[in-house]
Amino acid sequence: MNKSAIPALIFVIAILFFSKAGAQELFVATEPASNMAKNSIRLRLSNEAVLETDFKSRTSLGIMYGLNKSLTLNVNAFMADFYQRKQRINGYSFYGKYRFLNSDNVQKHFRGAVFAQYSTVKFPIIHDEINLAGENNGLQGGIVFTQLLHKLALSGSVSYTQSLDKFIPGHEMLHDNAHNSIAYTLSSGYLIFPREYTDYKQINTNVYLEFLGDSHTGSGRNFMDASPAIQFIFNSKIRLDFSKRVQLWGNMERRFKNLYQVRVEYNLFNVF
Amino acid sequence: MKALRYLVLFALIATVAPNAKAQFEKAEVWVSGMTCSMCQMATQKSLKTIDYIGSIEPNLKTNSFILTFKKGKEVDLDVIKKKIKDAGFSVSRLITTFNFNNRTSVTNNFVFTYAGSTYRFVNVGDKVLHGEVNLLLLSSGFVSTSDYKRYSAQNFDPSYKTGMSGKARILHVTLASN
């Protein structure tokens, strides 16, 4: 068995054993195959930080819009002080997701979607990792499936990323001549509170564990991250996420192997 | 013989035009695929944009809504289905209350028209309806996929699968067991 599958499997079995609550698919590190409701907007403010030598962070503001029941669009702006003294906007990303499969049933559903992302940054940071969340220019395309099975929400994706960074002389070595990568994710989540929904004002508490793997197609370099998260939802509109990203193993040259993330999200319905 | 049967049906459509006051009063709709209160909120907000709905009462325990319709407004049940789809979910069950102002004798394949749509009774037997009657929708898009397969196997008339009777929308209903 692939090394990467073991922790995921253990987690899945653990959930099946002790979960009495519902499943949840509002994943923190990945996007599910489910879409936004038509004509609704999601505003997201995220901050990811490293505590390596001193406190450095990247902030992103994202606006997601449900164009119709099948198509969701997103724009992100990134601002960071990782590589300069002050926080300044240094990149944007554009994302679209098309849901092509939808099978709803009582207490279970299965959804499939394809997605594409384009990212542009002012000062690309050339490492082995091609990071479209504010570090590199690139194009990504992928497919994601999300399954809700009674108490268990599972989501898996595979994507292909092509770097569009222009190589600066002297930096080629770090990329190891690999300009594209394949990423794969496995996400799992469940609802721990409330035990039973009664009204919109109840605070929801969800926990997640996600695995994010990445592998260069040419060089064979790879990494596997685990991302545990806790999430609170207030008034069925406001979402607050705390997550951590830790590298489990890998031999890729990356800028950060550990990150903390805080995110606030606000949902608006029937905006137009 | 079959031709005669359809002739009788068409005669019924023509003659059992409901009186002006007969109308849909409310509905309870169960939504499948919703897994969080945020999803239900999104669905409720989508339903809220329907002009003939007066009030919406959510039940988060059962993932359902009780919709009360405005008096005098024409009710198109397909719009409810569409708004739930727009929010990303599906209708798994819909029971609507129709007010039969006159005593109406129904039997299998009895039809009545309302706001341009035809409603056909199946699995009903011989009954006399009067006043508020709860009707369970059996048509595609108003039941879960497994229920749809089950009903399809019962070989209702061909319009069950197409949802159309000529150029008119047809919806299959049965009496809801209370």
Contacts of B37 in chain A (CB under 8 A): 197, 199-200, 202, 204, 233, 236
State what percent of residues in chain B have pLDDT above 70.
88
DSSP reduced 3-state for B174: strand
User: CB atoms < 10 A from the CB of B33, how many?
Assistant: 26
User: CB atoms < 10 A from the CB of A176, how many?
Assistant: 16
**Given this model, what pLDDT does residue A75 score?**
97
Q: Which residues contact A25 (CB under 8 A, 6 or more apart)?
A: A32, A34, A146, A148, A153, A155, A187, A189, B35
The DSSP string of B22-84 is -EEEEEEEEEES--SHHHHHHHHHHHTT-TTEEEEEEETTTTEEEEEEPTT----HHHHHHHH
Q: Do A37 and B42 touch (CB under 8 A)?
A: yes
Q: Which residues contact B98 (CB under 8 A, 6 or more apart)?
A: B22, B23, B24, B25, B114, B132, B133, B135
Question: Residue A117: which pLDDT band, with cuts at 50, 70 and 90?
Answer: very high
* pTM of the entire predicted model: 0.85
Pick from A120-124, B41-45, B134-138: least confident: A120-124
Nearest CA in chain A to B47: A270
Three-state SS across A153-206? Answer: EEEEEEEEEEECCCCCCCCHHHHCCCCEEEEEEEEEEEEEECCCCCCCCCCEEE
ipTM: 0.83
Contacts of A191 in chain B (CB under 8 A): 35-36
Bond from prior residue into A194 cis (ω within 30 degrees of 0): yes
Task: Tell me which of B79 and A178 has the higher pLDDT.
Answer: B79
d(CA A41, CA A56): 29
**Residues paired with residue A214 on neighbouring β-strands, in sequence order:** A183, A223
**pLDDT by residue (tens digit) across B69-108?**
998 899 999 999 999 999 999 999 999 999 988 888 889 9
Nearest CA in chain B to A196: B61
In chain B, the N- to C-terminal Cα span, in Å, equals 36
Task: Tell me which of A78 and A196 has the higher pLDDT.
Answer: A78
Contacts of B49 in chain A (CB under 8 A): 270
State what percent of residues in chain A have pLDDT above 90.
53
**pLDDT by residue (tens digit) across A73-111?**
999 999 887 666 667 788 999 999 999 998 887 667 899
**pLDDT by residue (tens digit) across B12-27?**
444 444 444 678 999 9
